[in-house]
């Protein structure tokens, strides 16, 4: 199965439309920040091209999505926050928002909350879809050199070794990194045209750009 992973749309509907034109997969995973502090109605409008494309969409909210964005993606039947969804024989376990930041953004959780949710929902071989990246990787390294990812997520990956974790949050953390046998990917912000293409038959991940 081929999956496209995206993150950090931040309200740029034109990027979503461009992605739909070039889709080369049957599933799209959205790792949060659909809006830029926008509401649920705005999130639905942004995702409209994808929702009408016929592909299967799964999403979590990001720390910069409004309080009702989670409710909206639940209503649309695409939320995987704090739950497990199976598609094409592969389980996807999600957790949205971020670990605690200095900025008191909308959706923030403790590392224990992140870890415990993943632990509760995960089955062996599932894919993770999180907004926060794992701590101590190039995926969570900010321009200032600070690692801003989730220690709870990192701990979970080290313990359970899921085949894949698709994440986002840190725009400059675009890249692919292995944690043991697990592959973690931050596709980079779709608002700048970045995404990742995943082949689950070989667990191959390629970073792509729309323009």
Read out DSSP for 120-161? HH--TTPEEEESSPBTTSGGGB-TTS-B-SBHHHHHHHHHH-
- 95-146 confidence digits (pLDDT tens): 999 999 999 999 999 999 999 999 999 999 999 999 999 999 999 999 999 9
Residue 138: per-residue pLDDT: 98
- 153-203 confidence digits (pLDDT tens): 999 999 999 999 999 999 999 999 999 999 999 999 999 999 999 999 999
Would you mind telling me the total number of residues written for the chain in this entry? 211
- Locate the domains of the chain by residue range: 2-209
Dist CA 206 CA 152 (whole Å) = 26
- 42-100 confidence digits (pLDDT tens): 999 999 999 999 999 999 999 999 999 999 999 999 999 999 999 999 999 999 999 99
* DSSP type of residue 52: T
Dist CA 175 CA 187 (whole Å) = 6
Residue 141: per-residue pLDDT: 98
Task: Assign domain 2-209 to its CATH superfamily.
Answer: Metallo-dependent phosphatases (3.60.21.10)
Residue 90: per-residue pLDDT: 96
Residue 146: per-residue pLDDT: 96
Q: How confident is the model at residue 3 (pLDDT cuts 50, 70, 90)?
A: very high
| pTM greater than the 0.75 cutoff | yes
SS (HEC) of 84-110: EEEECCEEEEEECCEECCCCCCCCEEC
Residue 105: per-residue pLDDT: 96
* Residue 197 near residue 36 (C-beta atoms within 8 A): no
Q: What b/e string do you get for 15-28 counting C-beta neighbours within 10 Å, with b at 16 or more?
A: bbebbbeebebebb
């Amino acid at each position: 199965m081929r999956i496209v992973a995206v993150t950090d749309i931040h309200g740029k509907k034109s990027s979503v439309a461009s992605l739909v034109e070039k889709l080369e997969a049957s599933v799209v995973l959205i790792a949060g920040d659909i809006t830029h502090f926008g509401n649920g109605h705005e999130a639905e409008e942004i995702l409209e091209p994808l929702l009408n494309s016929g592909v299967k969409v799964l999403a979590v909210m990001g720390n910069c999505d409004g309080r009702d964005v989670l409710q909206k993606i639940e209503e649309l039947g695409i939320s995987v926050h704090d739950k497990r969804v199976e598609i094409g024989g592969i389980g996807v376990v999600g957790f949205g928002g971020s670990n605690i930041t200095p900025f008191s953004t909308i959706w923030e959780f403790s590392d224990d909350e992140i870890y415990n949710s993943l632990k509760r929902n995960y089955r062996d071989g599932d894919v993770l879809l999180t907004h926060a990246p794992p701590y101590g990787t190039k995926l969570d390294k900010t321009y200032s050199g600070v690692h801003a990812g989730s220690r709870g997520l990192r701990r979970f990956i080290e313990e359970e070794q899921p085949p894949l974790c698709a994440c986002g949050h840190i725009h400059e953390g675009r890249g692919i990194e292995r944690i043991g046998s697990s592959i973690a990917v931050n596709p980079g912000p779709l608002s700048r045209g970045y995404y990742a293409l995943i082949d689950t038959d070989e667990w191959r991940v390629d970073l792509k750009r729309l323009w």
